[in-house]
Copies of this chain bind each other. A is one copy, B any other.
Amino acid sequence: MQHIADLAGVSRATVSRALNDSSLVNEQTKNKIKLIAQEHNYVINEAARNFRLNQSQTVTVVMMTDPLVNQQSFDPFFMEMIASLLEALAKSELDMLVSQEPITDAAAFRNSRIYRQSLGLIVIGQGQGHEQLNELASDKLPMVVWGVPTHGQTYHLVSTDDKQGGKQATQHLINKGCKNIAFFGDKASADSELRYQGYCAALNEAGLAINAELDITVPFVTDKAKNVINAFLDAKPKVDGIVCCSDLIAMSAMSCLQEHSLKVPSDVAVIGYDGLSFTERTSPPLSTINQDIRQCAYKLVDCLVGLINGKQVENTLADVQLIERKSTQRN
């Protein structure tokens, strides 16, 4: 910067102001300085700038649940969320840091580097940390949570309407003529619980009984899913439709059904949840409840940027929508 200042015949102060478009600098001088800076490939030292301003351009994304399925791979839902956040933050010229360590102690977290030196926080999922997050909500550090509306929650939240989604999924199967609809999911997670409520609501409205034997706890992400599903099917249950809490579970379900010589969807119809793109490539193509992860990521970032700029922001409850996919039978 000194070099640029010398070339322009002004002081460092003026260069700094010129590059920051300060109104204190003459237009002409400003343009001249900008030109010289450009010509000499000057790029500002962000480290120095951030240090001086005592700020950072880094937003930390905290994963409250373990996105690691096993030692091999990740849950595509979380990956799509991460990738979308990456894109959305980049558009706002923000850097992204990802922390895989859930917040388990608000007080300790306040002393962490993440807390002290981030511009803001995006928290993915609430995990077991609802209380901790509530505690952090009153701090100055901007924070937005992706999760499920919870009793007494004071932090800023972006969520999708899980109950509505569960209902829509179930209604879709009812409309297809299913009478004995199973629910595959793990209600230990709050979103699944809500989806189950939607499932029950849809059955009630349609005058169908809720059969506890068709409420199956299928783990979200592990390989155990298939074992549970196979055990269920081995008992030859009376079932003609399955509402699944994730597209992955739905894929496993379809695979197991076909291994049991049951045709999808004629014998048993299946619907997934999440709207992951590979659902259009399954056989048969899988209808699903789309959460529009990308749009949610943008909402999270919008909300956070709003908070950073000191605006009042409102919680968002995004709608979900059914994506119906049909097999095109050929020949």
Q: Is the CB of B281 within 8 A of A41?
A: no
How far is B280's CA from A223's CA once the two chains are assembled, in angstroms? 9
Q: Does A69 contact B (CB under 8 A)?
A: yes
- Find chain B residues with CB under 8 A from A87 CB: 68, 100
Binary CB contact string for chain A from 238 to 275 against chain B (1 if under 8 A, 0 otherwise)? 00000000001001101101111100000000000000
Binary CB contact string for chain A from 74 to 115 against chain B (1 if under 8 A, 0 otherwise)? 101011101110110010000111111000000000111100
- Find chain B residues with CB under 8 A from A129 CB: none
The oligomer's copy count stands at: 2
How far is B277's CA from A285's CA once the two chains are assembled, in angstroms? 18
Q: Is the CB of A47 within 8 A of B43?
A: no
- Find chain B residues with CB under 8 A from A71 CB: 294
Binary CB contact string for chain A from 17 to 51 against chain B (1 if under 8 A, 0 otherwise)? 00000000000000000000000010101111011
Q: Is the CB of A327 within 8 A of B259?
A: yes
- Find chain B residues with CB under 8 A from A261 CB: 329-331
- Find chain B residues with CB under 8 A from A110 CB: 41
- Find chain B residues with CB under 8 A from A73 CB: 80, 276-277, 293-294
Q: Does A219 contact B (CB under 8 A)?
A: no
The residue of chain B having its C-beta at the shortest distance from the C-beta of A257 within the complex is: B283
Q: Is the CB of B255 within 8 A of A282?
A: yes
How far is B233's CA from A329's CA once the two chains are assembled, in angstroms? 12
- Most B Cβ at <10 Å: residue of A41, A67, A328, A330: A330
Taking the nearest CB of chain B, how far is it from the CB of A245, in angstroms? 14
Report the interface size class on chain A: 35 or more
Partner of A111, one of B41, B80, B100, B282: B41
- Find chain B residues with CB under 8 A from A327 CB: 258-259
Taking the nearest CB of chain B, how far is it from the CB of A34, in angstroms? 15
Q: Is the CB of A74 within 8 A of B67?
A: no
Q: Is the CB of A283 within 8 A of B283?
A: yes
Q: Is the CB of A284 within 8 A of B258?
A: yes
How far is B110's CA from A276's CA once the two chains are assembled, in angstroms? 38
Task: Give A residues with C-beta under 8 Å from B.
Answer: 41, 43, 45-48, 50-51, 54, 56, 58, 67-69, 71-74, 76, 78-80, 82-84, 86-87, 90, 95-100, 110-113, 116-117, 223, 226, 230, 233-234, 248, 251-252, 254-255, 257-261, 276-278, 280-285, 293-294, 327-331
